[in-house]
C-alpha cells in the first residue's frame, strides 16, 4: 500500500481552500473602497457608512441603498430596494445550513456572513469539511477586508469633496453594471435585465426617485411566474 500523493492529503487540500478564500476576500475588499467613497458622496456620514458595512454587510444591498439616497429617493424606498436585493441571501442560508450544521452562536454568526462570496466558495467544495473551511474563511475574511476598506473609502470620499468632480456618480453606475454582469449568463437573465431597465426608464420622469427601481422588480416576478419554455422541468 503506497501513501496517497501530496495533493490528496487533507492538510494540503484544506490549505488550498484557505488560499482561495483569502484571495476572494482581498478582491472583494478592494471594492469596499468604492463603497465607502460613494456612501459619503451620497450624504451619509463616515459612521453611518461604517455601520452599513458592519451591520448590513451585503455589498449589492449597500450600493443600492446609497444609490437610491444619492438619487434623491426616500428612506423607505432605499430600505425597500436594499431589502429586495438581500432576499437571495435567505436562499443562500438554506444551502449553507445543510453544509454547516452550525448551532447556537455559530449559527447567529454564520447568518451574518452569508453572502454571495462565502456561499459560492462554500458550496463549490467537493466535501462538507472543505465547504465549512471555505465558507468560514471567505465569510470572515471578506468581513474584515470589506470593513477596513469601507472606512478607508469613506475617508477618501470625505477628502475628495464634490463627488461629481471626481466622477463618483459615474463610479456608482460602473459598480452596478459590474455587479450585474456576471449574472447575465442566461437568455432569461438578459430578458429580465432589459425589461427591468425599460420599466425604470419609462417610470423615471413620472414618479418619485427610488420608485422606478422598485417597480422594475416586477420584471423578475413576472418572469418567475411565466411557464418555462425550453429548459424542461
Partner 1 sequence: MSAWTTVLLAAGAAYALKLAGYVVPAHLLEGPVVSRMVRLLPIALLAALVVVQAFVSPGGGLVVDARTAALGVAVVALLLRAPFIVVVVAAAATAAGLRAVGIG
Chain residues 135-194 in contact with partner 1, contact rule CB under 8 A: 164-181, 183-184, 188-189, 192-194
Interface residue with partner 1, options 24, 40, 78, 99 (CB under 8 A):
78
**Min dist. Cβ of residue 146 to partner 1 (A):** 13
Q: Do residues 32 and 146 lie in contact, with contact meaning Cβ atoms separated by under 8 Å?
A: yes
**Min dist. Cβ of residue 218 to partner 1 (A):** 8
State the CB neighbour count (10 A cutoff) for residue 220.
Answer: 16
Taking CB under 8 A as the binding criterion, the range among 8-16, 129-137, 140-148, 211-219 that sits at the site for partner 1 is: 211-219
**Min dist. Cβ of residue 129 to partner 1 (A):** 20
**Min dist. Cβ of residue 124 to partner 1 (A):** 17
Measured CA to CA, the distance from residue 181 to residue 202 in angstroms comes to: 22
Q: Select 124 or 174, whichever has its Cβ closest to partner 1.
A: 174
Taking CB under 8 A as the binding criterion, the range among 2-10, 12-20, 94-102, 126-134 that sits at the site for partner 1 is: 94-102
26 binds partner 1 per the rule CB under 8 A: no
Sites for partner 1 among residues 96-125 (CB under 8 A): 96-97, 102, 107-108, 110-112, 114
What the block records as the C-alpha cell of 38 is: 460613494
**Min dist. Cβ of residue 161 to partner 1 (A):** 13
Interface residue with partner 1, options 159, 224, 229, 232 (CB under 8 A):
224
Amino acid at each position: 500500500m503506497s501513501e496517497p500523493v501530496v495533493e490528496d492529503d487533507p492538510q494540503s487540500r484544506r490549505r488550498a481552500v484557505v488560499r482561495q478564500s483569502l484571495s476572494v476576500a482581498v478582491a472583494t475588499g478592494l471594492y469596499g473602497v468604492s463603497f465607502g467613497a460613494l456612501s459619503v458622496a451620497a450624504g451619509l456620514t463616515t459612521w453611518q457608512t461604517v455601520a452599513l458595512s458592519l451591520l448590513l454587510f451585503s455589498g449589492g444591498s449597500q450600493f443600492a441603498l446609497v444609490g437610491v439616497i444619492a438619487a434623491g429617493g426616500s428612506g423607505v424606498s432605499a430600505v425597500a430596494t436594499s431589502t429586495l436585493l438581500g432576499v437571495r441571501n435567505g436562499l443562500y442560508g438554506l444551502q449553507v445550513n445543510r453544509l454547516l450544521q452550525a448551532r447556537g452562536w455559530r449559527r447567529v454568526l454564520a447568518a451574518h456572513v452569508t453572502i454571495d462570496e462565502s456561499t459560492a466558495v462554500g458550496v463549490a467544495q467537493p466535501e462538507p469539511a472543505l465547504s465549512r473551511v471555505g465558507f468560514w474563511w471567505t465569510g470572515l475574511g471578506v468581513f474584515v477586508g470589506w470593513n477596513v476598506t469601507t472606512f478607508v473609502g469613506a475617508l477618501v470620499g470625505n477628502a475628495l469633496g464634490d463627488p461629481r468632480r471626481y466622477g463618483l456618480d459615474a463610479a456608482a453606475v460602473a459598480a452596478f453594471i459590474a455587479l450585474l454582469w456576471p449574472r447575465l449568463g442566461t437568455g432569461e437573465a438578459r430578458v429580465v435585465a432589459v425589461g427591468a431597465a425599460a420599466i425604470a426608464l419609462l417610470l423615471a420622469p413620472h414618479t418619485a426617485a427610488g420608485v422606478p427601481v422598485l417597480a422594475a422588480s416586477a420584471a423578475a416576478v413576472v418572469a418567475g411566474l411565466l411557464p418555462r419554455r425550453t429548459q424542461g422541468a
